[in-house]
Amino acid sequence: MKRTIAIVGGTGAEGSGLAWRWARAGEKILIGSRDAARAAARAAEIASRVLGAEIEGRENAAAVAESDLVVLTVPFSAQAATLKQIQPAFRPGAALIDTTVPLAATVGGRATRTVGVWQGSAAEQAAELVPDGVCVAAAFHALSSELLRGEGRVECDVVVCANDAGARKTAMELAEKIPGIRAVNGGPLETARIAEQLTALLIGLNVRYKVRAVGIRFTGLPIPDPQL
């Protein structure tokens, strides 16, 4: 049976961009929202752009309950509360891909700064808030929604951090469903604290160079990764 990807907060810029790209790649998507009607409207909008798209909208917890693969795309200020709300809905053994960047802007500060997270990173905070047996991968922090919403190739690397090999592999495969993206194995989940910080740097570069979608390409890597 075809897998379903639930995107919690999928009505927003990042979640909608990922949904649009993955729907085009033939993935089955459930857009999640606090409001089922808003989710359905966003899903319909994406479906109107993709011939044969399999995409629907649900309230967040309902989307999670129907999927073994959940992608979290809410602002850092809403991350913990959202995870607590959807926690009972996770299927046993599901995987969570967390995209959260702890930008200070989400709590009233600057977009070029981050806030400290007690657990070390937003991803490690997420890992504490999902049920036992749900594995977390952190990814897509440096992938601008500006690039996702277009039709062209997305020329950047996506660093994936995870403790679980299966969650890492799934996140890397999903990243590479988007034309132009190369997935890079960033190591354990704790490395997400570095990956998350880089986004604040990228936002600063966007401001200084008056552009909208600075990304990252690493050089010198043997890709595909022979260890995977």
Counting contacts by CB under 6 A, is residue 215 touching ligand NAP?
A: no
- Of 153 and 228, the one with the shorter C-beta distance to ligand NAP is 153
How many residues make contact with ligand NAP (CB under 6 A)?
Answer: 25
Counting contacts by CB under 6 A, is residue 82 touching ligand NAP?
A: yes
- Of 34 and 169, the one with the shorter C-beta distance to ligand NAP is 34
Contact region for ligand NAP (CB under 6 A) — 27-35, 63-71, 177-185, 216-224?
Answer: 27-35
- Of 132 and 209, the one with the shorter C-beta distance to ligand NAP is 209
Interface residue with ligand NAP among 141, 156, 157, 172 (CB under 6 A) is 141
DSSP per-residue codes, 89-153:
GPPTT-EEEE----BGGGGTS-TT-B---TTSSHHHHHHHHSPTT-EEEE--TT--HHHHTSSS-
Counting contacts by CB under 6 A, is residue 191 touching ligand NAP?
A: no
Counting contacts by CB under 6 A, is residue 73 touching ligand NAP?
A: yes
Give the integer Cα–Cα distance in Å for 136 and 86: 15
Counting contacts by CB under 6 A, is residue 84 touching ligand NAP?
A: no
Which residue in the shown chain puts its C-beta closest to ligand NAP? 12
Counting contacts by CB under 6 A, is residue 101 touching ligand NAP?
A: yes
- Of 165 and 211, the one with the shorter C-beta distance to ligand NAP is 211
Give contact residues for ligand NAP (rule: CB under 6 A): 9, 11-15, 33-35, 38, 73-76, 78, 82, 99-101, 103, 140-141, 143-145
